[in-house]
Amino acid sequence: MTDVKGDRSLPPHKQADPDLFVHVTKRNDEGVWITGAKAHQTGCLNSHWLIVMPTMRLGEGDEDYAIVGAIPVEAEGITYIYGRQSCDTRAMEGGDIDTGNNEYGGQEAMVIFDDVFIPWDRVFMHGEYEYAAMLVERFTCYHRRSYVCKSGVGDVLIGAAATVAEYNGADKASHIKDKLTEMTHLNETIYSTGIAASYQSHELKSGAWICDDMIANVCKHHVTKMPYEIGRLAQDLAGGLVVTLPSQKDFESPEIGGLLEKYLKGRADIPTENRMRILRLIENMTMGRNAVGYLTESMHGAGSPQAQRIQIARASQMDFRKALAKELAGIEETDREEILETFTDYFARVFTTAEPKAKA
Amino acid sequence: MTDVKGDRSLPPHKQADPDLFVHVTKRNDEGVWITGAKAHQTGCLNSHWLIVMPTMRLGEGDEDYAIVGAIPVEAEGITYIYGRQSCDTRAMEGGDIDTGNNEYGGQEAMVIFDDVFIPWDRVFMHGEYEYAAMLVERFTCYHRRSYVCKSGVGDVLIGAAATVAEYNGADKASHIKDKLTEMTHLNETIYSTGIAASYQSHELKSGAWICDDMIANVCKHHVTKMPYEIGRLAQDLAGGLVVTLPSQKDFESPEIGGLLEKYLKGRADIPTENRMRILRLIENMTMGRNAVGYLTESMHGAGSPQAQRIQIARASQMDFRKALAKELAGIEETDREEILETFTDYFARVFTTAEPKAKA
Amino acid sequence: MTDVKGDRSLPPHKQADPDLFVHVTKRNDEGVWITGAKAHQTGCLNSHWLIVMPTMRLGEGDEDYAIVGAIPVEAEGITYIYGRQSCDTRAMEGGDIDTGNNEYGGQEAMVIFDDVFIPWDRVFMHGEYEYAAMLVERFTCYHRRSYVCKSGVGDVLIGAAATVAEYNGADKASHIKDKLTEMTHLNETIYSTGIAASYQSHELKSGAWICDDMIANVCKHHVTKMPYEIGRLAQDLAGGLVVTLPSQKDFESPEIGGLLEKYLKGRADIPTENRMRILRLIENMTMGRNAVGYLTESMHGAGSPQAQRIQIARASQMDFRKALAKELAGIEETDREEILETFTDYFARVFTTAEPKAKA
Amino acid sequence: MTDVKGDRSLPPHKQADPDLFVHVTKRNDEGVWITGAKAHQTGCLNSHWLIVMPTMRLGEGDEDYAIVGAIPVEAEGITYIYGRQSCDTRAMEGGDIDTGNNEYGGQEAMVIFDDVFIPWDRVFMHGEYEYAAMLVERFTCYHRRSYVCKSGVGDVLIGAAATVAEYNGADKASHIKDKLTEMTHLNETIYSTGIAASYQSHELKSGAWICDDMIANVCKHHVTKMPYEIGRLAQDLAGGLVVTLPSQKDFESPEIGGLLEKYLKGRADIPTENRMRILRLIENMTMGRNAVGYLTESMHGAGSPQAQRIQIARASQMDFRKALAKELAGIEETDREEILETFTDYFARVFTTAEPKAKA
């Protein structure tokens, strides 16, 4: 979805190079052709279809940029350029420890379209620039709520921090236990705001259900901060060794492996290798390949922090809240009563959450 | 519920004065008699019944303190001592502005029991000290989730802050808008964690439903912090006048009222009185009578912050999380697989939230 | 200093009422006459002289508002209107406990000037509107650094919190000790940024020394947040009783005084009255009269938070920092080297802090 | 300095392997021999001398561990094992962009001592275990204050964030400017607490000067958090590309280099390569090799966060603060007056900071 965007102070049709946002270059009876690039699509290489969409509000002059369509990943004219991740080449070193998480990782690639064809029956928007903003808002409403997935990643990191504290013999210290509690409190905040966004979902005219826009944005906005704090606390519990541990090859070396085995032992009953493995997992999640997904993607995926703040402000129905305050302060103003009687949007959902069940 | 507690480092039966926790002083065929005091019961003076309960985990020797029973508020032997609130006497000054919120307020009173009788049919626990902890935990699970009510109070304070910014002519400044967004983000976090705790409720053997213990505690724990930050931001938007405004009597004084009318004007089209009223409402909610409920009661009601941290830690199923981390780190340990296959408690609810609907 | 300001989106000369900022109304050979009002001058009633100053940047058209002059507090034409503070009337109730701090408090008053005369030899600025901004910046540089005083107030509140924890028998709990440490960490941050602003002071052409603008603003900016968090933590340690405690009159009542004496006892060896006194002091500093000074004045005195952010941004010498980053990233750009060789302003002070001593 | 420590719940002489803390294995007329390991010494490979020291409080039974001595880095019996850093192998790939900072980096190595000899004239402590705690505290007092160096690293990262915002065409947005201000506010807090710790230094009996223990710990404690938040904000301003950027080799590839040049252009007047370089610098400092030093070493170097909290608590002179509170609350207690008249330690320095200058 994310176009490469060029100069962010300019709209698509004012960019020095028209291709900096994906756009239609020609069209005929059979379909359209598009050119441009999507900056860094997570998981695109293991998908079957790509759906291109505008990435933001469009205005007059941006008609060619108002294009939504589905394309098979192997369509002619697409070039994928694989992105680098922190510590990416460790996967090619041959061991299974320094990678941190030897089973799972993600990948991002730049997707470049050079006059790629989309037949009309797979074109879902074509020129209706005035709906681009609404489309993006609805898409991100789903997408931001889906970032609740990071609470699952958080479970693993909290578990890793608890494990390393135990391996270090430090798990009984009150400050250690308190930090694990703080990590849990943050992690479950992400989880529960995500769940609440779904619970408070509502039906659109089309019959599709959409989750609550306010809460979905609140959820994602926490995701832009809390994983960083959880990651910081995990490094606190791990100790400095998490970023200075010698390599697996040194551990396996006949010459110095024994020294590392001896000196990197924590609690006597825990194999040194286990301690190494858990430290490498924490490195992987806070600085390495999976930090890309757990931290930076949590920041920017489905919209950067400011995008959520804009949506939270839009959904906040400040006039309703002002009327509440004026009522209690004894301020008589035109429309105050009228506003208070009209529940719409977010407040309608807040005050009627019980109804769907009552009806059922 | 909250006993006066005396020395918090000692259990009930070790206190210098046995009455510092409510306890049974005698019993016969008809019922029991209790003595002691509840420290500050919100709203007790406008209730019909009191239910006394233990306030914390009890142990051996505390048998007489394991008492739950219902008592009419006007029962013989009860003394109520009304507590003071910040700015309480403003309500007796005769005006309707300096009170801040002239319609609503709360009250707390100490409730002292001097051999108050409870007939057996209104005694629900008697001596079973080993269930006191579970009773308190279940009660606070409901009670902590109910603190979502503070998001409604927050709506009013956010509305008041937005109103005063407008009256000051400052509502277009980007930092003002951003602070209102931050207040909303915090407020809706309280709301949505509360909703999620209910959504994830589950049925007990008795047939009663109870909300999710982890999320209810996460909700209440946010309530111990976020209202303070929302209050701080409201004072930021209000300006210093919120705590230095002259009295209503000065405004109404024939001698100096006109000067205040002239000089405390904000935007030319807003009556000075309206500006005063909204400032007094903010004072009321951040320092005055309703700050008692919005701030300090948010801190301590249904358990002080540390009580929630203890429950969050208990509900966190750290062994399950450790097993997740070990799995990904490639650490083989006894029971790892077994733990991963057994979803219980919180994780059982997390991974099966869809089921109740599927069954229905 | 703070004018009443009216509509904050408009400059002084565009206000609906010209008097909403203090300004010169006439002038002759002997001096000038001023009219207007200062909103809430702390401590003015126990001062000998008032110095009026512009409160912000002035522009063309604001010439009459560019006035600085000294006036005796009892000058003809001045009216003082005393502001209300939270819990102000408790001082008139006759007791010495409910006031919280029976010895010390502050006061603010609105100061209204109605054609007040200032002779020329006490006029220090007259019409030079282009220097108003610099004057305000220099004044606030001193003033913001002086807000280090709140760390002294913080010492008292931390001491009160530690005392009440001890009286409650809760001072050995690890979370209590940790919260006292957090309060100290915050409080000493205020102290040390204040000290650093003075250490890094420098001589102006006039021979006067001024403290470091960046650090003075960093200090004051912490003061707009940290006292609120220290206050929140003090309420955490105090327990809910801090806002629900019955009145001194009830304690002294022959009828119920004994009940309160008995039931509000904490640790057996501490007089109940002492516990009451320390709770009232915490109420006084977090919600009552001294909360006005410790919290809200910390927010707005010497400029509201956004005013500091503007100064921090101005002093941040971002071009110098950009050049540092470009150097390390290997980016060749015009002027990069030049910028790096020129230490001015803040960075000049940072890199030459040792010199004053070396010279001495 | 940091021993490998083994099981952190046990003192040195109770470890399963006696070598988990450096200790004396034999001694004769010429000197002592030591065995053990220091976990990860920053910069040891480019030093001339190593000084070994105990790493924490020692007790009875730990006599052999109370050893301080100086050793040339090339002494017989020392083995160095180089630690891995995030993205370490990028330095061996041949390019100068993907490394992020191609000129500077650090290194850590484990230092293993196998019966290494130290002659008596280079032994500074030998068996005096009761002074180990004081030695560590004094050493860390200097060392923690020295962590002010991270504010220089912060200058670079803030500059990099400002540069990338400009390259992206986003530098005029108010939220971007505000985040740069926040980063500066945090960074200068580190700087100014460091400066204040030195300003408030005092002379020991030996004639050596030591910086203020309280403030040095406050400084270092901020260093364990603020760089993480500065790093998070830098990633916010950079955009997601900071962790998904294709490799330098792809940029230089004749086949796809042109596509990257075209599509990764930000502002039209900025070379794409410059944008890449600044993004790689931010990656380097927040996830790569220099994140090891800017983040994790900031956390654990000179003592992990809890170590500072313990020192802050020790230096806080809570009895003095309690006496202040009791004085104002009107509580009469033995010793209150006496305590208030005795300024010692931190408060002595706070209230006499002007004296050294006055004397000079």
> Is the pLDDT assigned to residue C148 strictly greater than 70?
yes
Q: What is residue A354's predicted lDDT score, i.e. its pLDDT?
A: 52
Query: Average pLDDT of C175-182?
Result: 98
Å between B322 CA and nearest CA of chain C? 25
Å between C355 CA and nearest CA of chain B? 39
> Is the pLDDT assigned to residue A54 strictly greater than 80?
yes
Under the banding of pLDDT at 50, 70 and 90, the label for residue C351 is confident
Query: Average pLDDT of B81-93?
Result: 97
Cβ neighbours of C170 in B, within 8 Å: 8-9
**H/E element holding C125?**
strand C123-126
Residue among A199, A274, A278 minimizing CB distance to B196 = A199
Query: Average pLDDT of A277-290?
Result: 98
Q: What is residue D359's predicted lDDT score, i.e. its pLDDT?
A: 36
Å between B172 CA and nearest CA of chain D? 12
Distance (Å, whole) CA B49 – CA A186: 38
In the structure encoding, which two tokens stand for residue C153, read together? 């107030």
Contact A169, D9 (CB under 8 A): yes
Under the banding of pLDDT at 50, 70 and 90, the label for residue C341 is confident
Å between D8 CA and nearest CA of chain A? 5
Query: Average pLDDT of B297-307?
Result: 96
Please indicate whether, in this complex, the C-beta atoms of A40 and D262 are within 8 angstroms of each other: no
> Is the pLDDT assigned to residue A67 strictly greater than 50?
yes
Radius of gyration, alpha carbons of chain C? 25
Residues 248..307 of D with a Cβ closer than 8 Å to C: which? 274, 277-278, 280-281
> Is the pLDDT assigned to residue A47 strictly greater than 90?
yes
H helices present in chain A, as ranges: 132-146, 150-167, 174-199, 213-223, 226-238, 248-252, 257-263, 272-286, 289-291, 297-300, 305-315, 318-329, 336-341, 345-351, 355-359
> Is the pLDDT assigned to residue A291 strictly greater than 90?
yes
Q: What is residue C354's predicted lDDT score, i.e. its pLDDT?
A: 52
Average pLDDT, chain A: 94
Query: Average pLDDT of B232-248?
Result: 97
Distance (Å, whole) CA C158 – CA C180: 7
Q: What is residue C359's predicted lDDT score, i.e. its pLDDT?
A: 36
Residues 6+ apart with CB under 8 A from A170: A176, A237, D8, D9
Q: Name the residue of chain A whose CA is nearest to B317's CA.
A: A159
> Which is it for strands A202-203 and A209-210: parallel, antiparallel or unpaired?
antiparallel
Distance (Å, whole) CA A94 – CA A247: 12
- What tens digit of pLDDT does each residue of B338-349 get? 888 888 899 999
Please indicate whether, in this complex, the C-beta atoms of A320 and B159 are within 8 angstroms of each other: yes
Cβ neighbours of D244 in A, within 8 Å: 39-40, 83-85, 108, 110, 292
Residues 316..355 of C with a Cβ closer than 8 Å to D: which? 316, 318, 320-326, 328-331, 333, 350, 353
Q: Name the residue of chain B whose CA is nearest to C36's CA.
A: B263
pTM of the predicted structure, to 2 decimals: 0.96
Burial of B20 (0-12, 13-18, 19+ CB in 10 A): buried
Query: Average pLDDT of A69-97?
Result: 97
CB proximity A37 to D under 8 Å: yes
Distance (Å, whole) CA A171 – CA A156: 17
Tens digits of pLDDT across chain D (360 residues) = 789 999 999 999 999 999 999 999 999 999 999 999 999 999 999 999 999 999 999 999 999 999 999 999 999 999 999 999 999 999 999 999 999 999 999 999 999 999 999 999 999 999 999 999 999 999 999 999 999 999 999 999 999 999 999 999 999 999 999 999 999 999 999 999 999 999 999 999 999 999 999 999 999 999 999 999 999 999 999 999 999 999 999 999 999 999 999 999 999 999 999 999 999 999 999 999 999 999 999 999 999 999 999 999 999 999 999 999 999 999 988 788 788 888 889 999 998 755 444 333
Contacting subunits of A (3+ beta carbon pairs below 8 A): B, C, D
Q: What is residue D115's predicted lDDT score, i.e. its pLDDT?
A: 98
Q: Name the residue of chain A whose CA is nearest to D114's CA.
A: A259
> Is the pLDDT assigned to residue B257 strictly greater than 60?
yes
Contact D259, D249 (CB under 8 A): no
> Is the pLDDT assigned to residue C353 strictly greater than 90?
no
Query: Average pLDDT of A300-312?
Result: 96
Residues 225..244 of A with a Cβ closer than 8 Å to D: which? 225, 228-229, 232, 235-236, 239-244
- What tens digit of pLDDT does each residue of C99-119 get? 999 999 999 999 999 999 999
Give bridge partners of residue A110 from the DSSP assignment. A81
Query: Average pLDDT of C40-45?
Result: 92
Query: Average pLDDT of C176-205?
Result: 97
Under the banding of pLDDT at 50, 70 and 90, the label for residue B359 is very low
Per cent of chain C over pLDDT 90 is: 91
> Is the pLDDT assigned to residue C360 strictly greater than 50?
no
Q: What is residue D336's predicted lDDT score, i.e. its pLDDT?
A: 80
Cβ neighbours of B180 in D, within 8 Å: none
Average pLDDT, chain B: 94
Q: What is residue C356's predicted lDDT score, i.e. its pLDDT?
A: 44
What's the maximum distance between 2 C-alpha atoms anywhere in chain B? 85
Please indicate whether, in this complex, the C-beta atoms of C277 and D329 are within 8 angstroms of each other: yes
A109 phi and psi, to 5 degrees? -140, 145
Residues 6+ apart with CB under 8 A from C338: none
Q: What is residue C304's predicted lDDT score, i.e. its pLDDT?
A: 95
Please indicate whether, in this complex, the C-beta atoms of D162 and C322 are within 8 angstroms of each other: yes
Q: Which of B256, B88, D127 is nearest to C109 (CA)?
A: B256
Residues 145..204 of C with a Cβ closer than 8 Å to D: which? 155-160, 162-163, 166, 177-178, 180-181, 184-185, 188-189, 191-193, 195-197, 199-200
- What tens digit of pLDDT does each residue of B211-227 get? 999 999 999 999 999 99
CA A306 to chain centre: 14
Q: Which of D3, D128, D126, D109 is nearest to D68 (CA)?
A: D126
Please indicate whether, in this complex, the C-beta atoms of D328 and C281 are within 8 angstroms of each other: yes
Highest mean predicted confidence (pLDDT) among B1-5, C335-339, D205-209: D205-209
Residues 6+ apart with CB under 8 A from D151: D187, D188, D190, D191, D194
Distance (Å, whole) CA C295 – CA C230: 10
Residue among D181, D309, D320 minimizing CB distance to C309 = D181
Please indicate whether, in this complex, the C-beta atoms of B79 and C256 are within 8 angstroms of each other: yes
- What tens digit of pLDDT does each residue of A191-250 get? 999 999 999 999 999 999 999 999 999 999 999 999 999 999 999 999 999 999 999 999
